[in-house]
């Protein structure tokens, strides 16, 4: 607790530090140091004119090329030309291009935002030795990566640190934290990030607070365990409930205390059910908290209250079961968490937490239901009555909650509950033992895994069906020009005032790109929407202003006025480019009354979804794993008036639909072979079909596997926590490990081997897949690219585009001729194709979007350019990255018939990573399924093996427990010659030796006993015989001497002889009673009758005072009356003998009731028993008196034990002794 308090205090200190000026200064220093290091390196490179000369002439060595290539900044060298066209003669990055070079500009360093982020730009003019041209070198040091137009998977980040974006940001205003150049010039300022959450905590603070929370919970656990030992389980459970409720209320009311809300696990956007279960993390904490108390709740109700508790338990059980099913369904169907386990790479960390929560939820339900069944089974001893009660109460509940869907959902749950009740009520089965066994654990894990898998599949079906319906409606929107909702919303922002205020920005190339991208980014025309949008801007003279292509004002105006038709109210028109495709076009005239500033045309063409996914799987695919458009296992078809107008290429749809095949309902479902089809009919003439492969079997098996593994993980975690709790009680790890039995060791070994094999096989196979896929993809890419290159080379030859072995790319007609076959090749092969000239400039591409948006620059990758241009390779296959996503790309030299290279063809394979992930996903799904069943089979095998081994040991153990001296000990019959057989042989040998030793020992003991008995009898008889002999000898001498008192002496001798003969009779009687002590006659007696007769007898003795504190009730018991009389006679006799002659003898008899026993205490006021004699007091033949056989107390002990009781004593020397006798009552 003290450690938790210290950590909590430290967290407040770190929170102050990291969210205050010292932290900001630290981030400023890191960024400043990074920029200074890069600037120093830039200065070193710029000073090496020999290296720069090699780079310009493309004469650098491979080592020099790699050295410059690995620089973190971009290095670009421009050469000044006579035509004012600055040639980029060297570059080491293809992700960005510097601003348009100005050779009149002096050397400078400045900060600038470019299309993909913020850079520190070094500009320096050079004159290289031996060269006449002027050169301008630009070094772009990346500071912050941030696109004008950000895709959903783009994340802004600083170049020097990925985490810095969470703490600082670049600002346009002056702050206390400037970033300066090496010459002291201020480049820009940074400021603290203004977090959207006021309770944001930095990672250090968060870790400290979470550790403090864990320590607090550990302390509370140990505190409750201590309460349990001192005051019992009910008090501990009540206290645990109270503590957890208080903790949850504190976290609920003060979420900033431990800063949990900043974790995405506690983000309501991921999952939020209600005000209580506000996030996935809250749900996790609720069920983790509930698991502990539920496992510890004792069953303490008894008597008539059990009936009320049992009936209440039935209601609670049904309500809890329905709530459990509803919660699982809601977690799957109405959250952003993906449970589609058939696609591994669409699963997230929240999926793992979801499975853990489901395992916790099921464990809590299992323990809670077992608690309820303690009362329910007592209240309903007849199971048929219990099943009837559950069915009636469940149906009443469903009657109250009306709704067809609710009833259809809960009826199977009610049937499951009855089956669950049947299984849990069989108390004799191994699965229901109080101490859970491996067999029971595996059984219930399988039951709950299957049940949860069915519920999750229902939730997935509902979620997928709703999403599929949404995508069908979207396809309808995209292929119907009368439904222009997307564009209408977007165009509403582009009014005259907005365009008028920003029109001058179109004249600046940089501002032009930024403004066009802002139109797309701030509206609904971005890359993730279904339209490919282009802006054409013209001034008042109809001259183009920085447009991307050569389309003229007249061409666009002609399309708008002649070929298009109006739609909507926003000046939107559309024209059909083919029988199944159309293009939207609108015109905006910018007027600054009364002057016309210019005109903007917006052209939006619906994308071909199938092609766009295949061509740009990484760039434009949304990262949301729950978006149906991201899945490759969907197919679609669109029918208009029964004819197929558009469809995907991975499913066999019909060319035309018959009238009878067109559905009458708006939404219908059809099962065709192994496919599941959604038919959407938005109108009388149109039908949209979205199909998906029906993989319920593999999904169910995979869900079972995931859930099974989740349960095993949770059981392992709980077991581990239990071990930690045991180790915390001063138990060493060695003691714990040595305490594991053979069964646990075998189970652990088999499971460990399964886990290790899973990891090793999985890692090795995935590595093999990656290598094999890379090779096969490179080969496939090479074949496709070579085919494309040959086709393009043939087209160039046929069109006669080569002039002096060079294509004139400045001629728009040449570019148009190349673009048409290039797009055809790209569409046929579903790939992107680019053509670069010999200077590495992009001239023709089948997909300009990537380059228009600044994802890549229009320069060829420098490594590929070096290999093809400098080393004269014919092709180069290499790995590249775009937006931090890897892909393979191939570059091929296009040559004429003479073998002279005139261009470079590039085919990037963006889909390779997606395909690889698909391969790995399928394998992981398969191996997880296999390993789940391996775990299950291994558990069953381990169960049989351990049962077989432990059964053998149990037989040996039972036989060894049954070994008794004096009885016949049986040997074990074992037919197998194995290790256990060797143990059995040694055991049988030991039994035989033991029998021989027992016989010898028995003989020796018998002889010893006879010798001891003979000695004792001789001693006891000899004592009275001696005075008898002396008395007779004395009488004989008196007679011989004729003494006068012979008559008197004879009388005295006779009296002495009689007394000694009586003593001999008593000795004989004592030995006889001790020998026959085992013989008894059991009958029901009242102990008071026995004690009363003895009290009456001893009360007549004037030398003693006897007190009897009698209980009012009778003391009835089944025993031998004679034995009881002998027991208390011996105790009273010993009490009287123990009394001192110096004081009056006081003996008391006290009675008390202890449970179902009576305790009788016989107390004397004698001298007590010395300490050295106390351990021998009940040993036969031992006595503290000068006379007697020493059999009295031994006989008492034997009588009490035969009656099922116990005897003991308490003594104080000089004070007296009390003998206690506990006897069972009938």
Supply the DSSP string of 370-389, one letter for each residue: HHHHHHHHHH--SHHHHHHH
Q: Which of 449-453, 467-471, 526-530, 890-894 has the lowest mean pLDDT?
A: 526-530
Of the pLDDT bands very low, low, confident and very high (cuts 50, 70, 90), residue 864 is: very high
- The larger pLDDT score, comparing residue 1028 to residue 1205, is at 1205
CA distances from 1012 to 125, 655, 1044, 1188 (A): 124, 115, 46, 16
How many residues does this entry show for the chain? 1226
CA distances from 414 to 325, 384, 745, 831 (A): 10, 15, 40, 54
Contact 1149, 1091 (CB under 8 A): yes
Average pLDDT over residues 254-261: 54
* Residue 861: per-residue pLDDT: 94
- Beta strand 1145-1154 with 1104-1109 is parallel
* Residue 210: per-residue pLDDT: 65
The set of residues, in sequence order, having a beta carbon less than 8 Å from that of 743 and lying 6+ positions away, is: 438, 946, 950
* Residue 624: per-residue pLDDT: 41
Strand order in the sheet with 842-845: 842-845, 834-836, 901-909, 885-895, 875-882
* Residue 300: per-residue pLDDT: 46
891, HSE (Cβ side, Cα atoms, 13 Å): 26
Phi/psi at 129 (5° precision): -65, 135
How many C-beta atoms lie closer than 10 Å to residue 615's C-beta? 23
Q: Which of 211-215, 346-350, 379-383, 481-485 has the lowest mean pLDDT?
A: 481-485
Contact 183, 109 (CB under 8 A): yes
Average pLDDT over residues 948-953: 71
- The larger pLDDT score, comparing residue 282 to residue 1134, is at 1134
* Residue 714: per-residue pLDDT: 78
- What is the percentage of the chain residues whose pLDDT exceeds 90? 10
Q: Round the average pLDDT of the chain to a whole number and report it.
A: 76
* Residue 890: per-residue pLDDT: 92
* Residue 76: per-residue pLDDT: 94
Contact 1168, 1183 (CB under 8 A): no
* Residue 626: per-residue pLDDT: 40
The set of residues, in sequence order, having a beta carbon less than 8 Å from that of 157 and lying 6+ positions away, is: 144, 145, 164, 165
Average pLDDT over residues 80-102: 81
Average pLDDT over residues 325-338: 80
Of the pLDDT bands very low, low, confident and very high (cuts 50, 70, 90), residue 629 is: very low
Q: Mean pLDDT highest for which of 12-21, 991-1000, 1024-1033, 1101-1110?
A: 1101-1110
Instruction: Give the tens place of pLDDT for each residue, 758-778.
Output: 778 777 877 887 777 778 778
Q: How far apart are CA 368 and CA 362, in angstroms?
A: 10
Q: How far apart are CA 56 and CA 133, in angstroms?
A: 11
DSSP string, 59-118: ---HHHHHHHHT-SSEEEEEE--TTS--EEEEES-SS--PPPP-TTSPSEEEEEEETTEE
Instruction: Give the tens place of pLDDT for each residue, 597-610.
Output: 899 988 887 665 43
Measure the CA dihedral 31/32/37/42, to 10°: 100
* Residue 579: per-residue pLDDT: 45
Strand order in the sheet with 1216-1224: 1104-1109, 1145-1154, 1157-1164, 1216-1224, 1206-1212
CA distances from 1218 to 1010, 1133, 1168, 1186, 1212 (A): 34, 13, 9, 21, 9
Q: In the 3-class helix/strand/coil scheme, how is 297-366 assigned residue by residue?
A: CCCCCCCCHHHHHHHHHHHHHHHHHHHHHHHHHHHHHCCCCCCCCCCHHHCCHHHHHHHHHHHHHHHHHH
- Dihedral sign (CA 731, 737, 742, 748): positive
Contact 905, 895 (CB under 8 A): no
Q: Which of 813-827, 928-942, 1195-1209 has the lowest mean pLDDT?
A: 928-942
Strand order in the sheet with 168-171: 168-171, 186-192, 178-180
Contact 321, 413 (CB under 8 A): yes
Which residue carries 């060297």 as its tokens?
90
Q: Is the pTM of this model over 0.85?
A: no
* Residue 1019: per-residue pLDDT: 58
Average pLDDT over residues 698-702: 81
Average pLDDT over residues 70-98: 85
CA 12 and chain centroid, separation: 30
Q: How far apart are CA 1013 and CA 1008, in angstroms?
A: 8
Name the DSSP letter for residue 731: -
- Beta strand 634-640 with 565-567 is unpaired
How many C-beta atoms lie closer than 10 Å to residue 840's C-beta? 22
Name the DSSP letter for residue 655: S
Q: How far apart are CA 144 and CA 510, in angstroms?
A: 18
Taking 90 as the threshold, does the pLDDT of residue 586 lie above it? no
* Residue 616: per-residue pLDDT: 41
Taking 80 as the threshold, does the pLDDT of residue 482 lie above it? no
DSSP string, 560-624: IIII-EEETTTTEEEEEEETTEEEEEEEEEEEETTEEEEEEEEEEEE--HHHHHHH-TTTSS---
* Residue 17: per-residue pLDDT: 61
* Residue 572: per-residue pLDDT: 80
The set of residues, in sequence order, having a beta carbon less than 8 Å from that of 271 and lying 6+ positions away, is: 279, 280, 283, 331, 335, 336, 337, 350
Q: How far apart are CA 74 and CA 42, in angstroms?
A: 10
Which residue carries 């009363």 as its tokens?
1092
- Dihedral sign (CA 933, 935, 939, 942): positive
Among 579, 578, 643, 632, CA closest to 610: 632
* Residue 1158: per-residue pLDDT: 92
* Residue 8: per-residue pLDDT: 67
Taking 70 as the threshold, does the pLDDT of residue 692 lie above it? yes
- The larger pLDDT score, comparing residue 264 to residue 864, is at 864
CA 148 and chain centroid, separation: 38
- The larger pLDDT score, comparing residue 62 to residue 211, is at 62
Instruction: Give the tens place of pLDDT for each residue, 778-822.
Output: 888 888 888 889 888 888 888 888 888 888 888 878 888 888 888
Tokens of 1183: 């006595």
């Amino acid at each position: 607790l003290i450690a938790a308090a210290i950590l909590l205090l430290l967290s407040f200190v770190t929170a102050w530090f990291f969210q205050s000026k010292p932290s900001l200064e630290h981030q400023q220093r890191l960024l400043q140091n990074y920029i200074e290091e890069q600037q120093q390196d830039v200065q070193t490179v710029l000073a090496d004119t020999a290296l720069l000369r090699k780079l310009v002439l493309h004469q650098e060595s491979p080592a020099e090329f790699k050295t410059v290539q690995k620089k973190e900044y971009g290095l670009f060298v421009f050469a000044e030309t006579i035509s004012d066209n600055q040639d980029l003669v060297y570059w080491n990055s293809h992700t960005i291009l510097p601003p348009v070079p100005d050779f009149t500009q002096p050397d400078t360093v400045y900060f600038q935002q470019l299309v993909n982020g913020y850079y520190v730009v070094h500009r320096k003019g050079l004159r290289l030795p031996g060269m006449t041209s002027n050169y301008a070198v630009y070094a772009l040091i990346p500071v912050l990566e941030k696109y004008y137009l950000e895709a959903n998977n783009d994340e802004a980040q600083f170049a020097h640190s990925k985490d810095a974006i969470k703490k600082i940001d670049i600002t346009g205003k002056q702050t206390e934290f400037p970033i300066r150049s090496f010459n002291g010039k201020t480049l820009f300022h940074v400021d603290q990030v203004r977090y959207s959450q006021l309770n944001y905590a930095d990672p250090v603070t968060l870790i400290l607070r979470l550790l403090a929370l864990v320590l607090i919970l550990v302390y509370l656990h140990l505190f409750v365990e201590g309460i349990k030992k001192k005051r019992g389980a009910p008090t501990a459970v009540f206290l645990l409930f109270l503590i957890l409720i208080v903790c949850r209320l504190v976290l609920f009311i003060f979420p900033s205390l431990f800063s949990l809300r900043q974790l995405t696990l506690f983000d309501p956007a991921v999952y939020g059910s209600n005000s209580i279960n506000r996030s996935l993390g809250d749900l996790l904490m609720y069920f983790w908290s509930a698991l502990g108390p539920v496992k510890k709740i004792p069953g303490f109700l008894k008597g008539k209250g059990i009936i009320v508790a049992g009936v209440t338990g039935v209601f609670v059980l049904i309500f809890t079961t329905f709530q459990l099913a509803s919660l699982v369904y809601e977690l799957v169907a109405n959250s952003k968490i993906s449970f589609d386990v058939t696609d591994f790479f669409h699963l997230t960390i929240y999926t793992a937490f979801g499975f853990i929560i489901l395992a916790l939820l099921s464990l809590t339900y299992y323990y809670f239901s077992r608690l309820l069944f303690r009362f329910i089974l007592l209240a309903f001893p007849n199971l048929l009555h219990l099943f009837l009660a559950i069915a009636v109460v469940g149906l009443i509940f469903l009657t109250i909650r009306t709704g067809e869907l609710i009833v259809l959902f809960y009826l199977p749950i009610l049937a499951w509950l009855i089956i669950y009740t049947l299984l849990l009520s069989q108390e004799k089965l191994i699965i229901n033992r109080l101490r859970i066994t491996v067999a029971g654990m595996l059984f219930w894990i399988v039951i709950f895994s299957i049940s949860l898998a069915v519920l999750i599949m229902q939730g997935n079906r509902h979620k997928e069906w709703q999403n599929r319906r949404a995508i069908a409606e979207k396809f309808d929107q995209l292929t119907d020009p009368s439904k222009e909702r997307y564009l209408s919303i977007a165009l509403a922002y582009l009014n005259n005032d907005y365009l008028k205020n920003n029109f001058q920005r179109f004249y600046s190339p940089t501002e032009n790109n930024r403004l066009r991208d802002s139109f797309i980014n701030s509206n609904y025309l971005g890359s993730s929407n279904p339209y490919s949008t282009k802006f054409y801007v013209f001034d008042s003279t109809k001259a183009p202003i920085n447009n991307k292509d050569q389309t003229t004002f007249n061409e666009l105006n002609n399309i708008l006025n002649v070929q298009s038709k109006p739609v909507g109210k926003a000046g939107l028109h559309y024209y059909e480019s083919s029988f199944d495709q159309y293009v939207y076009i609108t015109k905006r005239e910018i007027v600054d009354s009364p002057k016309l500033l210019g005109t903007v045309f917006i052209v939006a063409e619906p994308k071909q979804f199938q092609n766009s996914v295949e061509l740009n799987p990484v760039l434009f695919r949304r990262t949301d794993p729950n978006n149906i458009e991201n899945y490759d296992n969907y197919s679609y078809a669109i029918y208009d008036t029964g004819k197929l107008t558009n469809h995907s290429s991975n499913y066999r749809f019909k060319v035309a639909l018959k009238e009878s095949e067109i559905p009458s309902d708006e939404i219908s479902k059809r099962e065709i072979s192994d496919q599941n089809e959604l038919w959407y009919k938005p109108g009388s003439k149109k039908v949209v079909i979205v199909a998906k492969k029906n993989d319920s079997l593999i999904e169910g098996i995979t869900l079972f596997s995931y859930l099974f593994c989740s349960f095993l993980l949770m059981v392992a975690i709980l077991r581990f926590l239990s071990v930690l709790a045991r180790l915390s009680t001063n138990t060493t790890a060695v003691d714990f490990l040595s305490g594991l039995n053979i069964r646990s060791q075998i189970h652990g070994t088999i499971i460990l081997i399964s886990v290790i094999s899973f990891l090793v096989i999985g890692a090795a196979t995935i590595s093999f897949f990656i290598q094999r896929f890379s090779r096969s993809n490179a080969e496939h890419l090479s074949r496709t690219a070579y085919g494309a290159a040959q086709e393009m080379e043939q087209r160039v030859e046929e069109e006669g585009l080569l002039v002096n072995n060079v294509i004139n790319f400045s001629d728009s007609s040449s570019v148009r001729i190349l673009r048409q076959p290039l797009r055809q090749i790209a569409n046929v092969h579903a790939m992107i194709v680019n053509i670069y000239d010999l200077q590495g400039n992009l001239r023709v591409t089948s997909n300009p979007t990537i380059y228009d948006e600044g994802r890549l620059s229009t320069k060829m990758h420098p490594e590929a350019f070096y290999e093809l241009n400098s080393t004269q390779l014919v092709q180069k296959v290499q790995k590249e990255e775009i937006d931090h996503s890897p892909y393979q790309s191939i570059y091929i030299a296009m040559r004429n018939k003479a073998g002279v290279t005139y261009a470079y063809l590039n085919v990037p394979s963006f889909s390779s990573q997606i395909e690889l992930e698909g391969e790995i996903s399928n394998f992981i799904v398969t191996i997880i399924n296999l390993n789940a069943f391996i775990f299950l089979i291994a558990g069953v095998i381990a169960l049989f093996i351990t049962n077989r081994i432990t059964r053998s040991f149990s037989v040996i153990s039972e036989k060894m427990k049954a070994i008794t001296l004096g009885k016949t000990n049986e040997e074990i019959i074992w037919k197998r010659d194995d290790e256990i057989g060797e143990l059995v042989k040694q055991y049988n040998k030991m039994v035989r030796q033991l029998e021989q030793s027992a016989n010898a020992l028995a003989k020796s003991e018998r002889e010893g006993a006879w010798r001891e008995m003979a000695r004792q009898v001789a001693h006891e008889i000899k004592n009275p015989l001696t005075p008898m002999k002396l008395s007779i000898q004395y009488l004989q001498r008196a007679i011989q001497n004729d003494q006068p008192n012979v008559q008197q002496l004879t009388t005295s001798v006779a009296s002495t002889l009689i007394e000694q003969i009586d003593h001999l009779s008593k000795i004989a009687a004592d030995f006889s009673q001790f020998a026959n002590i085992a013989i008894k006659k059991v009958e029901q007696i009242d102990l008071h009758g026995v004690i009363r007769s003895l009290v009456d007898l001893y009360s007549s003795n004037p030398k003693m005072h006897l007190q009897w504190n009698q209980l009012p009730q009778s003391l009835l018991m089944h025993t031998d009356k004679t034995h009881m009389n002998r027991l208390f006679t011996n105790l009273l006799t010993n009490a009287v003998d123990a009394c001192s002659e110096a004081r009056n003898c006081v003996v008391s008899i006290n009675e008390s009731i202890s449970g179902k026993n009576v305790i009788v205490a016989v107390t004397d006021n004698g001298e007590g028993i010395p300490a050295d004699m106390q351990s021998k007091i009940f040993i036969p033949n031992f006595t503290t008196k000068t006379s007697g056989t020493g059999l009295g107390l031994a006989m008492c002990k034997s009588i009490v034990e035969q009656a099922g009781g116990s005897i003991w004593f308490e003594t104080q020397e000089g004070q007296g002794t009390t003998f206690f006798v506990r006897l069972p009552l009938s």
